[in-house]
Amino acid sequence: MADSVISEFQGTSPVDIPIIDLSNPNEDLVAHAVVKASETWGMFQVVNHGIPIELMRRLKELGKEFFELPEKEKEAVARPADSTDLEGYTTDYKKDGEGRKTWADHLFYRIWPPSRINYRFWPKNSPDYREVNEEYARGIKKLSEKIMGWLSEGLGLHRDALKEGLGGEKVEYLMKIIFYPPCPKLELLYGAPPHTDLNGITFLIADEADGLQAFQDNKWVDVKYDDSGIVVIVADQIKRMSNGRYKSGEHRATMDTVRTRLSWPVFAEPNLDHVVGPLPELVLDKAPKFKPYVYREYKFLKMNKLPID
């Protein structure tokens, strides 16, 4: 039944990630497709999502312009050396356990709620940078709450259940612009190693170069971008709140030998002091599969690869 809202942009391969057309007038079919994709993949792409294509195009132009600036100008929004927060510009270059390296430049800054925004970390290279990002933030928040509403109802709960479990109006949206330089020896380097996101739900757009891969059925699948689409990645906190009903989508970023690649994920996450665990309504007659954590503690454990459950 959900196949009727799978977009015409869907690829021919049986292992393409689902692409869901949100403009279908039958909301029940759309909701069913979102729930099914979240159960089986933990990742899908939405088209006709209500965020203007021109706005997305300009957002990407501004990000590219920032990374083309001289290093000294980029360092004007650098993450302070003594900061315990993620916000700011950084270069990430480190080895994994098998000797392969990750290499990417990052720019983090919060885009919602307004009370948590620190414009000190927003680039000043264009007069419309702030306006474009603020409009995109409003669109992503609306899309996020729509998708979390469908996922909540898919669990048999009221529409705001997952949003409230993630912190309600205190849910934070963190923009991350990632710049992947070209790499001549791909076997030695990742843009980002295999992982699941530790937040609640992620919304990602990218430039024209491929690179994002999803892990499904014991193999890596290339995510085919559509310029108008947004990739939605279900992350750890929604998996845990759903008591394992929804899948946290495992993914990685690969490099290109000659081209740079950029992506713009937005992470919806709880406030650091918020406690997240299986929603109480889902564990009335069954044991919880996960224990609740203060998000700050969960984040520390995951980022330091320490045992969680």
Higher pLDDT, 174 or 193: 174
Report the distance separating Cα 267 and Cα 203, nearest Å: 7
Q: What is the pLDDT of residue 259?
A: 81
DSSP count for the chain of H helices, then E strands = 7, 15
Report the distance separating Cα 303 and Cα 206, nearest Å: 24
User: What values do phi and psi take at 171, rounded to 5?
Assistant: -60, 135
Q: Residue 17 pLDDT > 60, yes or no?
A: yes
Q: What is the pLDDT of residue 7?
A: 46
Higher pLDDT, 151 or 11: 151
Catalytic residues: 176, 195, 197, 251
29 and 4 Cβ atoms separated by less than 8 Å: yes
Reported as a pLDDT band with limits 50, 70 and 90, residue 15 is: low
Report the distance separating Cα 202 and Cα 232, nearest Å: 6
What torsion do the CA atoms of 187, 189, 192, 195 make, to the nearest 10 degrees?
A: 50
Q: pTM for this one?
A: 0.92
Structure tokens of 111? 């885009």
What torsion do the CA atoms of 224, 20, 3, 26 make, to the nearest 10 degrees?
A: -170
Structure tokens of 189? 């380097």
Reported as a pLDDT band with limits 50, 70 and 90, residue 6 is: low
Q: Report CA Rg, the chain.
A: 19
Report the distance separating Cα 57 and Cα 37, nearest Å: 26
pLDDT tens string 128-152 = 999 999 999 999 999 999 999 999 9
Q: What is the pLDDT of residue 253?
A: 85
Reported as a pLDDT band with limits 50, 70 and 90, residue 42 is: very high
Q: Residue 98 pLDDT > 60, yes or no?
A: no
Q: Residue 5 pLDDT > 50, yes or no?
A: yes
N- to C-terminal Cα distance for the chain? 36
113 and 169 Cβ atoms separated by less than 8 Å: yes
pLDDT averaged over the chain? Answer: 90
H/E segment holding residue 154? helix 129-154
pLDDT tens string 46-73 = 999 999 999 999 999 999 999 999 999 9
pLDDT tens string 175-232 = 999 998 877 665 545 557 789 999 999 999 998 767 899 999 999 999 987 789 999 9
